[in-house]
Amino acid sequence: MLPPIDLERQVRLMLEARAPHREPDRTFASVMEATRRVRQRPRYIASLLGHDAGWAAVAIRRVAPVFAVVSLAVAVLWSVGSPGRGGSPDLIPSPVHPTASSSPSLRASPPAIAEGEAWIAARIEGPGGPSRIELMRPDGSGRHLFAPAVEGPASYPDWSPDGRRIAFVADRLGSVWVAGADGTGAVQVASCTGSCSHPSWSPDGTRIAFTEYEGDEVTVGPTASSIRIVGLDGSNVTSIRSVIRLERPLIVDVPRWSPDSTLLVIAVDRFDPAGFETGAAIGTVPSSGGQIKYLTSFEEFAYYPDWSWATDTIVYSTEVIASKASPDPGDETWNLFTIRPDGSGATMLTDLSRGSRLAGPSWTPDGTRIIATRDDTHSGAFVDAASGLVTLIPGTDGASHLRLRPTP
């Protein structure tokens, strides 16, 4: 029989002795090289602002990643043009991310936004850099920078119902702004204690709902969030009020208006103390304030709803961002679902293969299609609302949070 020993100590010594006491020769260099070509996923992003002042604003960006069933021609073109294909799926090529100073297409005078012409406004995430808003036609042409005169990057565009103005968030300032479609006449209409996100025009164009996040410097991610509504008379603010406020473990987000403006559909995220997502659900709340009526369970991870004013139908995606149950987001499949406002008729619209991800859905104004994002390349896609057929939108590399301009 073995004499009594401190087995834990001996195991520690054995492991320490047996472990290699040097770094692998190739891995550090290869990791750093590889990560230069890998895009960061823009989930909840901590945007460090005002370093000198020593404060940080936390911006929540549950951006819609996506995946799509691609038409053969587009898939072939993409494959041919992507040196990373065939290797690790992580090593996707860096999409083209033109900047205002480097891209000829963005240096040139932007095309005029003609009355009645369809345009897509999208949030563009640079590789590791700040976001910005760009406009492009639905065929990908005419892509140019939406450049309102605000400090820092802009994101989360939303077209006014008449298609003449865009509400957006100024990331650095943590506030909601409105500007003309050509970027002129920018005015701030709301500010937030932490950061603002997801502005959403009401159907009559007189109000904008948005999310306000309350964060701190210690915790990455908001400690609480509110849905607020700002009333507008033209560009003048007439009122501002809170609809609902939730504190962690629940965070309310992504307000979108019902056709008659009496309700907002919202998303609610649920977290555990360690910050992992344990569920997400969508629900409705009266725009005048009140209780949430949940349309889905938290276990469905329903997120990013949008309400069609044409068909009175809600679309949402099933996004899992960082749960303990699925710590590897690459394994997740995110699909689009539709549901009636009373919670009935939930229907799985897309049926993507494992690991494919569609997210950030937004109805086209006529309610026949949904515009969404694919997660791995952040390019746009149209989804047929009847068949669920997914078609990539050319020229939308790096795009998320896409919104199609209403063209009355």
Partner 1 sequence: MSMQDQLVRRAQAGDHEAFGALVHAVIGRLYASARLILRDPDKAEDVVQDVLISAWRDVRALRDPGRWDAWLHRLLVRSCYRAAKQHRRREYVEIPFALDYDSAARDDLALVGLRDQLERAFDRLSTDQRMVLVLAYFADLSLLDISTALDIPIGTTKSRLHRAMAVLRAEIDSDARLATAVDGRTA
What would the x/- binding string for partner 1 be over residues 258 to 287, using CB under 8 A?
-------------x--xx------------
First to last CA, the chain: 88
d(CA 79, CA 87): 12
Residue 306 or 397: which CB sits closer to partner 1?
397
- The residue from 50, 75, 90, 141 that contacts partner 1 (CB under 8 A) is 90
Q: How far is the CB of 269 from partner 1 (least distance, A)?
A: 11
State the number of binding residues for partner 1 (CB under 8 A).
64
What would the x/- binding string for partner 1 be over residues 322 to 361, using CB under 8 A?
x-xx-xxxx-------------------------------
Question: Which run of H or E residues covers position 11?
Answer: helix 7-18
Residue 152 near residue 172 (C-beta atoms within 8 A): yes
- The residue from 56, 69, 120, 285 that contacts partner 1 (CB under 8 A) is 56
d(CA 271, CA 140): 38
Sign of the C-alpha dihedral computed for residues 339, 344, 318 and 208 taken in this order: positive
The reply to whether 85 sits near partner 1 by the rule CB under 8 A is no
The reply to whether 15 sits near partner 1 by the rule CB under 8 A is yes
The reply to whether 184 sits near partner 1 by the rule CB under 8 A is no
Residue 403 near residue 120 (C-beta atoms within 8 A): yes
In the DSSP assignment, the letter for residue 18 is H
Q: For residue 258, how many C-alpha atoms fall within 13 Å in the half-sphere facing its CB?
A: 15
130 CB-contact burial (10 Å; exposed 0-12 / middle 13-18 / buried 19+): middle
Three-class secondary structure of residue 176 per DSSP:
strand
Residue 25 or 151: which CB sits closer to partner 1?
25
The reply to whether 39 sits near partner 1 by the rule CB under 8 A is yes
The reply to whether 87 sits near partner 1 by the rule CB under 8 A is no
The reply to whether 387 sits near partner 1 by the rule CB under 8 A is no
Ramachandran category for residue 132: left, alpha or beta (phi over 0 → left; psi -120 to 50 → alpha): beta
What would the x/- binding string for partner 1 be over residues 19 to 38, using CB under 8 A?
xxxxxx-xxx-xxx-xxx-x
- Site for partner 1, rule CB under 8 A: 1-3, 5, 7-8, 10-24, 26-28, 30-32, 34-36, 38-48, 56, 88, 90-91, 127-129, 217-221, 271, 274-275, 321-322, 324-325, 327-330
